[in-house]
């Protein structure tokens, strides 16, 4: 009887990823001046396990490559080979290679062994006694034939994910960078562009065929797309004898350089221009060469490891529930009024055990944040080399626990903030010495619990934010007036404005159209917040505050007519009963609330959701001051009810997405209540940033 081994593949993949993380961490922490034999043994054991597992499951490409890696590690641990810095880099590239091969198999694809074959040549040279100086440059991590510049140039097909614009990436900037490498022609592929009525201005439905004429290397082209390659279809091929730029209908480099990013997004493109593009679609499509090669990204983990202590706690709670249920069943037999105290006691126990059971179940999804922090030692190691900087990474609070879903979604914002600290925060060694600092900069990642939240800090001891430059750029962009007097905290907050950047030039680390506004937006989507503190010459601290889980929300129940809605408690600033002198009107009919020295627009919830309210006049109801996207609004409601934790149910999965609503929950009486999305609510009411600014600065305010 044969056994179907495919049922164990996922376990092998997950254990292999853990082994690779172990290898990477140990390699990054190796001290070559005082080699730790246990660290080498740890790396060897991880490689040996991956080789054994891949051989068992028939993944021979991985087994063959890992065997060569294991052979060299065995010589090192038996003191037959001296480990050098170049060898560590070679092992790190091997970890990347194995991870890529496993990811391809996990996604149902085939292993690409070209990188593994080149790395094997490097290992074999070492095993044959060749010195490190004679190794191929860079550990031969890429196929040399492909890395060299093509004779005529390159043919590139680029199809980004539909969400590329929402993540702050800008295809036009990439085209401008390509134009710096040679002469380019660009043709749009419009197969998936929907009808104008169905066009989402924030989504990208286009792809592009690009011909690059010049002597650029493939590695230079890869650098242009490195931020989006995991979520895109990308093909880069040398132009053959029969492939010429004249075969494509496109635009030249000067045209690309003059295109505005809003035109790509479609937000400011006149309808006639869009229609003209759609009319030309069939004429150009016949000449477009479409050869997409999808780069598979590692799927999200579908399982988690849970400590036996958490399982034991859960089993104990279930046992307590069974006992309480038995007691209540007994009380139900021949029940009389004399047994009422006993019944109340049983119900109280049931409530207590249910709450403890809920907490135990939620703890199962909690993972130490070291899972998120584990990627940064390698990132700092590689980026500091690229930037010629000396940087030490310090990790604190690694055992602080966070919900698995939150951890997976906070990864990208954390990477962006750490990259910013590396690129813009920590100075070059010479500048640090001039400033009286140690030439080695420090970046600290710290995590700790505070109330029902987790706080993650990214701390650097670099130059700090350049307030003068930030303010100058903000005035230039029209974000503030030259006459405005801003406190340091307000100046620091300007870096989170859309499109704001002080980068003098595009680098490989930052400045590619990914702004801090995207970081803040992604964190706010998790019901979190991000703040920055900075001192010139001393460094900066970015603090991210997140809920421990996305499954449960601390909410404020409010009533409008017969409907009960829920505001996330973290979004509420305060609640007030108004007086006539506090309500003012701006020309155009907008009511505003004068809250101390600030004017806040008033939103009538009954009007937005088209429900019947008990109080339609502002001075009869209650105003709840809420904040979203750094905009404060006052929401008119009939009454404030209780504050309570609610279990969030996805409205999109069970019904459809609704603007201004982030989810729903079932209340104690069995009714369904909608959880309001403050940012969406503000957009529904038409209170954009420009309108908010105009209200704040308006002189045309009169008593209502």
Mean pLDDT, rounded, for 33-50 = 88
In a domain? residue 299: no
In a domain? residue 443: yes
Instruction: Give residue for tokens 């303010």.
Output: 471
Number of domains in the chain: 5
pLDDT, greater one: 639 or 479: 639
621 & 653 share domain = yes
Give the domain range for residue 498: 368-547
332 & 354 share domain = yes
In a domain? residue 53: yes
Last residue of some domain: 498, 514, 547? 547
Question: 206-220, 270-284, 615-629, 676-690: which range is least confident on average?
Answer: 270-284
In a domain? residue 297: no
**What is the domain-level CATH number for residue 63?**
1.20.120.160
Q: What pLDDT does residue 599 have?
A: 83
Q: What pLDDT does residue 670 have?
A: 82
> What is the pTM for the complete model shown?
0.58
377 & 332 share domain = no
**pLDDT tens-digit map of 464-485:** 988 888 888 888 888 788 888 8
In a domain? residue 400: yes
pLDDT at residue 3 greater than cutoff 70: no
Q: What pLDDT does residue 566 have?
A: 93
Give CA–CA dist 351/519, Å, rounded.
40
Question: 140-149, 175-184, 618-627, 636-645: which range is least confident on average?
Answer: 140-149
Q: What pLDDT does residue 501 have?
A: 63
pLDDT at residue 144 greater than cutoff 50: no
Q: What pLDDT does residue 150 have?
A: 56
Mean pLDDT, rounded, for 640-660 = 82
520 & 391 share domain = yes
**What is the domain-level CATH number for residue 182?**
3.30.70
Closest CA to 559 of 659, 667, 452: 667
pLDDT at residue 272 greater than cutoff 70: no
**What is the domain-level CATH number for residue 541?**
3.30.565.10
Last residue of some domain: 109, 129, 144? 144
Residues 665 and 675 sit within 8 Å (Cβ to Cβ): yes
Give CA–CA dist 450/672, Å, rounded.
31
pLDDT at residue 295 greater than cutoff 60: no
Q: What pLDDT does residue 499 have?
A: 63
In a domain? residue 533: yes
Q: What pLDDT does residue 445 have?
A: 94
In a domain? residue 291: no
239 & 252 share domain = yes
140 & 152 share domain = no
140 & 155 share domain = no
486 & 577 share domain = no
Q: What pLDDT does residue 553 have?
A: 79
Mean pLDDT, rounded, for 151-157 = 81
Give CA–CA dist 91/381, Å, rounded.
14
508 & 399 share domain = yes
408 & 500 share domain = yes
- From the number of C-beta atoms within 10 Å of its C-beta (0-12, 13-18, 19+), residue 279 rates as exposed
Last residue of some domain: 111, 144, 177? 144
In a domain? residue 69: yes
Give CA–CA dist 194/429, Å, rounded.
52
Mean pLDDT, rounded, for 160-188 = 83
Q: What pLDDT does residue 252 have?
A: 40
């Amino acid at each position: 009887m044969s056994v179907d081994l495919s049922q164990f593949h996922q376990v092998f993949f997950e254990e292999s990823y853990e082994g690779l993380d172990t290898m990477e961490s140990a390699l990054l922490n190796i001290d070559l001046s005082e080699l730790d034999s246990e660290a080498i043994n740890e790396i060897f054991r991880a490689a040996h396990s991956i080789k054994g597992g891949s051989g068992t499951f028939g993944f021979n490409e991985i087994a063959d490559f890992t065997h060569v890696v294991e052979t060299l590690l065995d010589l090192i641990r038996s003191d037959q080979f001296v480990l050098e810095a170049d060898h560590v880099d070679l092992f790190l590239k091997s970890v990347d290679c194995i991870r890529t091969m496993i990811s391809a198999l996990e996604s149902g694809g085939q292993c690409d062994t070209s990188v593994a074959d080149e790395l094997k040549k490097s290992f074999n040279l070492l095993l044959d006694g060749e010195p490190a100086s004679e190794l191929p440059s860079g550990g031969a991590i890429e196929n040399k034939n492909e890395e060299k510049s093509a004779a005529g140039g390159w043919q590139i097909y680029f199809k980004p994910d539909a969400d590329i614009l929402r993540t702050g990436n800008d295809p036009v900037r990439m085209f401008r960078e390509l134009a710096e490498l040679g002469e380019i022609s660009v043709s749009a592929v419009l197969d998936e562009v929907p009808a104008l009525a169905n066009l989402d201005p924030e989504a990208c439905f286009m792809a592009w065929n690009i011909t690059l004429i010049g002597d650029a290397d493939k590695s230079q082209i890869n650098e242009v797309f490195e931020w989006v390659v995991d979520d895109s279809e990308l093909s880069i091929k040398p132009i053959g004898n029969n492939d010429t730029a004249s075969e494509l209908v496109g635009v030249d480099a000067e045209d690309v350089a003059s295109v505005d990013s809003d035109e790509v997004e479609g937000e400011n493109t006149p309808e006639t221009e869009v229609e003209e593009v759609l009319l030309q679609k069939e004429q150009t499509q016949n000449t477009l060469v479409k050869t997409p090669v999808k780069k598979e990204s590692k799927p999200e983990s579908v399982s988690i490891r849970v400590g036996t202590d958490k399982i034991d706690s859960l089993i104990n709670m279930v046992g307590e529930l069974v006992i309480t249920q038995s007691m209540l069943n007994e009380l139900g037999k021949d029940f009389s009024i004399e047994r009422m105290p006993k019944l109340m006691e049983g119900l109280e126990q049931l409530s207590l055990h249910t709450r403890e059971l809920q907490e135990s179940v939620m703890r199962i999804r909690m993972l130490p944040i070291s899972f998120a922090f584990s990627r940064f030692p390698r990132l700092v190691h590689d980026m500091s080399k690229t930037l010629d900087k000396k940087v030490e990474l310090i990790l604190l609070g690694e055992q602080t626990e966070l919900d698995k879903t939150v951890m997976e979604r906070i990864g990208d914002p954390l990477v962006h903030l750490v990259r910013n600290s590396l690129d813009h925060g920590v100075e070059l060694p010479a500048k640090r010495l001039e400033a009286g600092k140690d030439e080695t900069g420090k970046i600290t990642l710290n995590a700790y619990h505070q109330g029902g939240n987790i706080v993650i800090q990214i701390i650097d001891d670099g130059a700090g934010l350049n307030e003068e430059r930030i303010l100058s750029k903000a005035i230039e962009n029209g974000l503030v007036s030259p006459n405005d007097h801003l406190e340091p905290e307000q100046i620091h907050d300007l870096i989170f404005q859309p499109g704001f950047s002080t980068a003098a030039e595009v680098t490989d680390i930052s400045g590619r159209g990914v702004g801090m506004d995207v970081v803040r937006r992604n964190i706010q989507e998790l019901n979190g917040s991000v703040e920055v503190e900075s001192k010139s010459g001393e460094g900066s601290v970015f603090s991210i505050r997140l809920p421990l889980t996305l499954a449960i929300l601390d909410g404020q129940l409010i009533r409008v007519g017969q409907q009960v809605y829920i505001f996330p408690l973290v979004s509420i600033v305060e609640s007030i009963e108004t007086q006539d002198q506090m309500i003012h009107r701006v020309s155009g009919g907008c009511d505003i609330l004068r809250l101390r020295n600030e004017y806040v627009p008033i939103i009538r919830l009954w009007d937005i959701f088209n429900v019947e309210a008990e109080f339609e006049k502002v001075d009869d109801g209650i105003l709840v001051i809420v904040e979203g996207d750094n905009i404060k609004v006052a929401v008119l409601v009939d009454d404030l009810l209780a504050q309570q934790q609610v279990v969030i149910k996805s409205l999109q999965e069970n019904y459809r997405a609704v603007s201004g609503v982030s989810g729903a929950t079932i209340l104690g009486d069995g009714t369904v209540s909608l959880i309001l999305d403050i940012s969406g609510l503000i957009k529904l009411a038409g209170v954009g940033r420009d309108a908010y600014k105009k209200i704040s600065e308006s002189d045309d305010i009169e008593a209502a």
